[in-house]
Amino acid sequence: MGDARHGEEIEIGFSLTRLCSSETDIVMLEIIYHLCAFVQLAKPSAARVHIRQTNDSDILRLIDPLIGSRDGGNVFAGATLPYGMAKAVADVDGENTGCFSTDGSNITGFSALHDSGTGGNPSMGNFPIFPQLCAEDDINTCNFLIEARETPYRIDSVEARPGYFGITMGNDIHADMAVSEHAALFRFDFSRQNASITIETEDGSETGRMKGNGSFLPSFGAGSYMAYFCLDISGGMIRDSGVWFNNRAGTEPKELYVTRGFNLFYIQAGGFIRFQGALSGPILARMGLSFISTEQACQNAEREIPGSDFDFDGLVTSAEDAWRAKLAPISIETGGVSESLQVNFWRAVYRTMISPQNYTGENPHWQSDEPHFDSFYCLWDMWRVQLPFLTIIDPLMMSNMIRSLLDTYKHRGWLPDCMMSTCKGWTQGGSDADNVLVDAYVKNVTGIDWELAYQAIINDAENEPLEWSNLNYIPYLDFDPIGFGTNSRSISRTLEYAYNDFNLATLAKRLGKNTSTQYYARATNWQNLFKPDETSTLTINGTNTTFTGFFQPRYQNGSWAYQDPIACSPLADTFCSLTSNPSKTFESSAWEYMFFVPHVMSKVINLLGGDDAFLQRLDFFHTTGLADISNEPVFLTVYMPHFAGRPGLSSKRVHAWEQGQTS
């Protein structure tokens, strides 16, 4: 993923009302980006509940959601249903692009809106709650601010399975969590604590409710989004509740509205609930979520996690069943391969179903009966491997997801390239939705209006959205006073658009359209940037090796410009993204883009001197530090030996990278 704009909250709102179903006061809260709602707890005493172990022969045993939770993996490691909107996990202050990391940093809160596998800044993490014990009776001795409340966790306590996440903080408070589609259930257990405070009983009410909303900026997109929550507590007797603001708290008022202050200064604020000691068991916090309203957040929670004694184990079981059902289409004959290889396989399958997220019923932008999916973060990342895989093992979801893309085209005028937290994202490469649609078409995914799909793709192919002109290649230093886009990525966009045009031609031909010839012709435009005499010489182990023939940028007048083929590769130690001084290749080098002509690799092989020369170049690319295995453009290079008739070498490469990563 690319560099992302900084996500930040814009405003926060709070208010108090009476609880609809009981006499208890309701604190309506609203809080801050990544940190916020706040549950304050007093004296504990209860046994820790154990989640049942999954059956030994169960495939879920082989899924480890923690793989990729540090060293830049940026995965979401917490509890989620397949494509679920609610994603519960601990948020940390260390490597927090995926919000939680096994990097041994500090927990700042627990929250339930997240993305997975993104780059740049953390996404969402809205409305965090935080349990703590306070030293004295005075509420102002509690640590409200993030810097003050953040707490390390015990690294060996982290337990993650499909549908479940548990962790013990350094102060012995144990937290675990489970989810439904649009709600999360957090369980906080203080039983290993020796709390010194005794709080007098004031009343016997057992539930409290906090509601709130907030306006936030997406981490890689335009505009802002509203999110809403509805928090219900069970398991302890409430002593009092109130709001906190800049590390001071009080039981009055019960509502709060916070906005960015003077100089856009962030003020931390939230609400709290204190419980009477001694607790007879864990405290459960049910958080309903919505992008529509607090009412809908409450309804989601009440429908999906009903009653007042929230059934934690039942939720975990339902999630496990949902995951088993999703994984059921796959079975493997292990042939005696190591368990670690199987674990790597199954967690990779699992990861394909974390995002996109199913936001059906939660689209704030238009009314529609069509399914609605979000967290396309971005299609540039997803079209190469994940979505083609899902067209095979989860075609029903793909059909729904594509209907959602087409519904977006109908209502916004464009197929999305990036879309997250209900906001439009920035475009990274070509028109990647085109690739997704046509891949599903050729694999016979049903239930889709292909005439509409054709129109949507033609729109991508023909209409310039304040962007670049077209000379059968994208020129370097274009003169385009009508357009508006950053003058950049001329090589990678030329290549991507050629592939988009090939897909459009494929669909047009099958639908009997008279445009297929024209788009098949445009699909050859990548050749216009191939410079047969461009060389790249690398000195490896004291030996100079020269390769000839690379993609290069061209000016509008047709003459060649220049970008060193190793620029933007790890060897050049530069990462080229959507920056103010952009390169001709997006997030990758001309070396790597030489392997990016997915629709006609045979032609590339010929240009580079035949199968053997092609395989040699590919091998050199993978073994000398040129390949950036952590980023999307490299995904296709791994199986390129297939095109030179050597599929075994593709498998060998996969295993080599796997060993490199697990050793």
Ligand X SMILES: *[C@@H]1O[C@H](CO)[C@@H](O)[C@H](O)[C@H]1NC(C)=O
Residues at the interface with ligand X (CB under 6 A): 13-15, 28, 83, 93-94, 105-106, 150, 152, 181, 194, 213, 226, 358, 360-361, 371, 396-397, 400, 443-444, 514, 539-542, 544, 555, 557, 559, 623-624
Q: For the packed helices 339-351 and 312-327, what is the interaxial angle rounded to 10 degrees?
A: 100
By residue count, the chain amounts to 663
Would the CA dihedral through 363, 364, 368, 374 be positive or negative?
negative
Rounded Cα distance between 355 and 176, Å, is 22
- Smallest distance, Å, CB 27 to ligand X? 11
- Smallest distance, Å, CB 202 to ligand X? 26
Which residues, other chains included, contact 179 with Cβ-Cβ below 8 Å and sequence gap of 6+? 79, 80, 81, 84, 86, 87, 88, 112, 163, 185, 315, 319
**220 vs 454 by CB, closer to ligand X:** 454
**486 vs 616 by CB, closer to ligand X:** 616
**226 vs 438 by CB, closer to ligand X:** 226
CA neighbor of 133 nearest in space, from 85, 174, 93, 81: 174
Amino acid of residue 211: K
- Smallest distance, Å, CB 557 to ligand X? 4
**15 vs 435 by CB, closer to ligand X:** 15
**360 vs 492 by CB, closer to ligand X:** 360
- Smallest distance, Å, CB 403 to ligand X? 10
- Smallest distance, Å, CB 88 to ligand X? 17
**94 vs 250 by CB, closer to ligand X:** 94
**578 vs 626 by CB, closer to ligand X:** 626
- Smallest distance, Å, CB 152 to ligand X? 6
**67 vs 256 by CB, closer to ligand X:** 256
**Max alpha carbon distance in the chain (Å)?**
84
- Smallest distance, Å, CB 387 to ligand X? 14
CA neighbor of 363 nearest in space, from 395, 396, 411: 411
Residue with tokens 């981490």: 219
- Smallest distance, Å, CB 44 to ligand X? 11
Residue 231's DSSP bridge partners are 210, 287
**11 vs 206 by CB, closer to ligand X:** 11
**465 vs 582 by CB, closer to ligand X:** 582
- Smallest distance, Å, CB 215 to ligand X? 8
Residue 638 has phi, psi (to 5 degrees) of: -65, -40
End-to-end CA distance of the chain: 25
Q: Please classify residue 153 by burial: count the beta carbons closer than 10 Å to its beta carbon, then call 0-12 exposed, 13-18 middle and 19+ buried.
A: buried
DSSP-derived secondary structure for 274-328: EEPSSPSS-EEEEEEEESS-HHHHHHHHHHHS-SSS--HHHHHHHHHHHHHHHHT
- Smallest distance, Å, CB 400 to ligand X? 4
Q: CA dist 466 to 93, 483, 486, 533, Å?
A: 39, 4, 10, 34
